[in-house]
Structure formats: structure tokens, C-alpha cells
Amino acid sequence: MNVQARLVFCWLYLQVSFVSVLSDTWNAKVVPNIDALVKSCVVVPCTYNYPGTSLPSSRKRAIWHKKGNREEYIYHEDSISVADNFKGRTKLLGNLGQKNCTLEIDEVRDHDNGPFCFRIEIPDLDKFSFVEQCVTISMISSPKEPVLEHKNYFKEGSHAVFKCYVKHTCPSHPPSLTWSRSDGEVLPSIKLLYEGTWQVESVLSFIAKEQDHNTEVTCKAVFHGNMETEAKFVMFVKGKQNIYHIIIPVATVLGIIILLGVVGFFVIKKYKRQIQELQSRNENGLWSRISRVSRRFRSVDYTFPGGDYKH
């Protein structure tokens, strides 16, 4: 074995012994704060460790109790020992053999705040309450409405895509998201936002049609325990029809203006000639009258009644 290999081996050995030293202590990882929707469920993520060898679930007893009172069980495998107000509502989802102590509280009530702590009893070894890692639950009395993401308007014939999502803390019975439209493609998904808090998502896509204009798209979230909320959007479809709505009146007005212009042009042209004719006729007429009158004046004999003045 060369020096390098020996060093690597040494380093690995140290790592392994470190990990086993670390895992050789009583510790638990519990989410410290979590929201819970009243009437729904809440799942509290929890893992734990203890010194010594791995043991199957059957050799361990898991308990969840109120902080400050080790006797007030909110979960116990013997349901008779569970406090009355938690009877039948708590379940250990985690696999104890895999050091998972995840707890589910169902039909959440207003006063389920806690804090609650995990306790493990291993008859062959010891008992331990992880009172430094307890969970406090914040109650939410009514669910928030889902978030609906979309474009402000859609072009007729284009893909209309809507994304709807909502947070929850009940992964054992996640909320369902449903759309008001039965046509189109729906893509559901679930993702973990942060420890204990999940998000269900649904993406709806369809081809925007002319008749979708002014119609409502609704995303409804139904939570475990049957509480529901919804988000809506009234679609604006910029269709060819909408363009015609603008083009037709504009074209009509323009047409009328052009028509009036043309008609006016001919009318003016026609009347101009007539006016000119009239004017020239008038001028002729006037002159002829004037000349006629002057001629008549010139031809008058200025004889006065009463005879001759020449005396």
C-alpha cells in the first residue's frame, strides 16, 4: 500500500468512525413549526436516532406527548392510553425501524397547537423524550385561495396555459385541484416547498377559441376535510373577430368619407360649370340690357309737354 492509498484509507476510517459516533447519540429532527388547516390533516416530519444497533419496529415503542406532560399522550400504539381529545385522530406514518417518527394528526381542531414531542422507548436499551425538538402547530381556520397564473390575454388559435397551485401540510391526503373546463390537457404535480410544506400544482392548456372570449376559467382546490376555495379569471381572447370589430367601423367611416369626397367633387364640378354658365349668361344678359337701355336713352326725343320753348 503506497502512502497516498494509506492516507485515503485513514481518512475514510476517520469519516466512518465520526459518522458512527454522531449516530451514537439520542437525537431527533422534528419540524419546529408547521401550519395546519382545521378539519384537514397535518403531517409532522420526524426522524430520530439512538446509540447502538438497528432494531426492528417491534422492539420499539413510539409515543408523541404534550410538551411538559409526558403522561398526556397524543399518540400511543395502545389507543386506550391516548388523551380523549386525540383518540382516533393520530397515526404514526413513519417506519420506526427506519428511524422515522413522522406523525399524522387528522381532523385537526382549533386547539391542536402543541407543542408536541416525540418519545421512544426501547425496552432493551432505554427511553428518551426529545423535549428539545418539539413541534408547534399554527391553526389556519380557512384555506387560502389557490394562485392562478396566466397571461392577461390570449390570441385566438394560440395555446392558453393556466397554472394553479396551492400550499398544504397534509401530504397523506393532498388537496385536489379541478378546472371548470373539461377540454384541454391537465398536468398535475406535487412538490415539496420546505420541510413539511407541500405544493400541489395543476397546469391546464387548451387552444384559445373565439367563443372563449369573456368566459371564466376557474381552478378549485378541495382540501381533505372538504373545505374548498377557488380562483377565477375571465378570459380575454384577441381574435380575428375582435380585429374585425375595429376594422369594420373604421373601413365604413373611411368608405363614407371617400364616397362623400367623390360625390362632392362631381357635384362641385357640375355646379361649377352651371354657375359659370349662369354667370356668363347673366353677364351677357346684363350687358345686353344695359346696352339696350342706353340705346333707348340715346334715341329719346327730349320733347316736353307744353310745346316748344323756343319763343
Ligand X SMILES: *[C@@H]1O[C@H](CO)[C@@H](O)[C@H](O)[C@H]1NC(C)=O
- Which window, 94-102, 136-144, 209-217, 226-234, contacts ligand X (CB under 6 A)? 94-102
Q: Could you tell me which residues come within 8 angstroms of residue 191 by beta carbon, excluding any fewer than 6 positions away?
A: 198, 199, 201
Return all residues near 215 (Cβ < 8 A) that are at least 6 apart.
234, 235
Q: Based on CB atoms, which residue is closest to ligand X, 45 or 146? A: 45
Q: Single out the segment in contact with ligand X by CB under 6 A; choices: 92-100, 199-207, 217-225, 252-260.
A: 92-100
Tally DSSP H helices, then E strands, for the chain: 2, 20
Judged by beta carbon, residue 94 or residue 175, the one nearer ligand X is: 94
**Smallest distance from ligand X to CB 98, Å:** 6
CA distance 180 to 28: 45
Least Å distance, CB 174 to ligand X, is 12
CA–CA separation, 308 and 100 (whole Å): 156
Number of residues that bind ligand X (CB under 6 A): 5
Rounded to an integer, what distance in angstroms lies between the CA atom of residue 98 and that of residue 133?
Answer: 19
C-beta of 102 vs 202, nearer to ligand X: 102
Residue 40 or 102: the one with the smaller Cβ distance to ligand X is 102
What are the φ and ψ backbone dihedral angles of 217, each rounded to 5 degrees? -110, 125
Interface of this chain with ligand X, residues 101 to 120, rule: CB under 6 A: 102
Q: Which is nearer to ligand X, 103 or 208 (CB)?
A: 103
Nearest to 105 by CA among 29, 39, 175: 39
Contact 216, 180 (CB under 8 A): yes
Contact stretch for ligand X (CB under 6 A) within 93-101, 218-226, 272-280, 293-301: 93-101
Q: Give me the helices (H) in the chain, please.
A: 3-23, 240-299
Instruction: Please state, in angstroms and rounded to a whole number, the distance separating the CA atoms of residues 135 and 77.
Output: 20
Q: Quick one: 93 or 161, whose CB is closer to ligand X?
A: 93
Binds ligand X (CB under 6 A): choice among 27, 49, 57, 100: 100
Contact 63, 116 (CB under 8 A): no
- Say if residues 65 and 74 touch (Cβ distance below 8 Å): yes
93 binds ligand X (CB under 6 A): yes
The answer to whether residue 173 forms part of the interface with ligand X (CB under 6 A) is no
Min dist. Cβ of residue 47 to ligand X (A)? 5
Applying CB under 6 A, among 74, 94, 198, 204 the residue interacting with ligand X is: 94
The CB-nearest residue to ligand X is 100
To ligand X, the closest distance from the beta carbon of 200 in angstroms equals 15
How near is the Cβ of 12 to ligand X at its closest, in Å?
25
Amino acid identity of 40? S
Q: Which three cell numbers stand for residue 122?
A: 426501547
Pick between residue 103 and residue 164 the one whose CB is nearest to ligand X: 103
Footprint (CB under 6 A) of ligand X, residues 251-280: none
Do the beta carbons of residue 144 and residue 165 sit within 8 Å?
no
With CB under 6 A as the contact rule, the residue among 26, 27, 47, 205 that binds ligand X is: 47
Question: Binding to ligand X by residue 27, rule CB under 6 A?
Answer: no
Nearest Cα to Cα of residue 172 among 63, 76, 42, 77: 42
Opening angle at CA 241, ends 240 and 242, nearest 5: 90
Residues that bind ligand X (CB under 6 A): 47, 93-94, 100, 102
